Amino acid sequence: MSHSRSIATCGLALCLLSACVGTTPHRQIRTLSVTDPLGKDSLGDYNSLKHLPHDVFAKTVGERTIECYQQFDLSVVEFDDQGKLWNRDQQLGALDGLVDDTDAKRNGAIILVFVHGWQENADVVNATVRCFRRMLYDWYQDEGPEGRRIIGVYVGWRGKSQRLPLLKWLTFWSRKKAAHKIGRGDMDELLIHLEGLKRGLMKFEPSDKRYGTRLVVIGHSFGGAIVFSALDNILKRSTLESVASVKPGDSKKVGIISAGDTDLVVLLNPAFETLLYSGLQEATTNCIEFNPYQNTVLMTIGAQNDTATGIAFPVGQFFPTLLQNFKTNSDERVMNKTALGHYNRYFDYLLTGIGTTNYPATASEKQDTDFHIGRRDRRRNLSLSEGMLVQLGSFTNRQWNLFAYPGNPKPPTHAPFLVISATKDIVDNHTGIWGDALVDFLRDFIAAHDDRQAEIKRQQTAPAR
């Protein structure tokens, strides 16, 4: 047997072994429907539960499809390996029911959606689920008891399909394939329900309310691939319709680019190839400025020291890329092997910390770190002349700094798409997305988004002079 055939045989044997030994069950994790999640079966004060031992917390919360606390709601929606919803009626029905939350009706809501990545799932005491709960509580602290209701939606799938330490790394290809299946499968149905929830709550908003209901979708790792796969065509269509008349060097402002009713999409250490994103980049190449009412729609944040997307991803993409054909004298082959957060030519900004310490999810789980930062005096010098980023720079007491990426062209004003490279004190490696500095930046970014939307609304409704 030749050397190459021996390698192929060993590889096949490892794949078969990983498929048979140590695999996790392919099943729905959250199966408990609560008849009245906003009433008698509410979980009460989150503070009374958050420091419980894992086994006690798991027993208290159980396998609920929806967790309702005094401070926030957490709804779980799960997908199978074929991209289908595990239980459409049960889990989407529970999510739709949140339109009846009395606090959300009265004050509006911030709907935060989180799609987890590789080696994670929707288990009640999963490290990522625990961190997401703390993030929701922290957002509640910023809003306050009379602020908008915080509604969290955790999107679960079998990101962890193998338990054995060595073999689990061989699941890269199957989990990447599953992620894109979900994004091209029933994920769009979930997004439709989320947009319906947002519109349903907006019907109750008083016309003079400054800050309205917001929908923010965050995808991490392969979860970023799920989110981008679901929204890619929506973003491309909106972009192409908005920039169709823009010629090279033309300073004409384009139309509003949107992701449907989703206000902001955030990709954290996304594990998909840059080539998939390149269409959006190319479509806006000739835009030297955007519509003054344009907000950031899609923001990518990649850690500089992320070994999973910076090293493992190119290795995983090497052989598939080797067997494909690409244009000569182009960067397509490189883009196909490089995750979006590591393609330097597309970087718009550099995000750094201000004397902070970050923790990966595993470390925070062991230490049971409390991510509560508390409400801050967020004094702003509101300015719309330079767009969202000037407005962000006027925040005080922040834990981050944002600079134009050295050596790259300055991004156009009001750019709808941003790719940000983050230093380790903001995002430390692949799972270090829950530290104070990044959470602070995301909250500030959405707060700036709120102020821009409020100011735009004021300008649009102001009587003509």
**Which pLDDT tens digit goes with each residue over 303-312?**
999 999 999 9
CA angle 426, 309, 361 (to 5 degrees): 50
Q: How do residues 329-340 score in pLDDT, each as one tens digit?
A: 999 999 999 999
Which amino acid is it at 187? M
- Cα 34 to Cα 31, 42, 43, 91, 151, distances in angstroms: 10, 9, 11, 11, 17
Quick check: 359 and 427 in contact, CB under 8 A?
Answer: no
Quick check: 137 and 372 in contact, CB under 8 A?
Answer: yes
Tell me whether residue 194 is exposed, middle or buried, using C-beta atoms within 10 angstroms of its C-beta: 0 to 12, 13 to 18, 19 or more.
buried
Q: Which two tokens stand for residue 61?
A: 């919360």
Closest CA to 34 of 67, 71, 77: 67
Place of tokens 């009265």: 106
Pick 315 or 9 by higher pLDDT: 315
At residue 68, does pLDDT exceed 80?
yes
Pick 389 or 337 by higher pLDDT: 337
**Torsion angle of C-alpha atoms 376, 382, 413, 295, degrees rounded to 10:** 70
Q: Which two tokens stand for residue 145?
A: 């008891």
Contacts of residue 235, defined as CB under 8 A and 6 or more positions apart, other chains included, come to 257, 259, 280, 297, 298
Q: What is the pLDDT of residue 363?
A: 41
Q: What is the pLDDT of residue 393?
A: 61
Q: What is the pLDDT of residue 382?
A: 37
Q: Residue 262 pairs with which residues in a beta bridge? A: 259
Q: What is the pLDDT of residue 396?
A: 67
- Provide the 10 A C-beta neighbour count for residue 280: 21
- 362 band by pLDDT with thresholds 50, 70 and 90: very low
Mean of per-residue pLDDT scores for the chain: 85
Q: What is the pLDDT of residue 350?
A: 94
Cα separation, 87 vs 80, whole angstroms: 10
pTM over 0.85: yes
Q: What is the pLDDT of residue 293?
A: 86
- 250 band by pLDDT with thresholds 50, 70 and 90: low
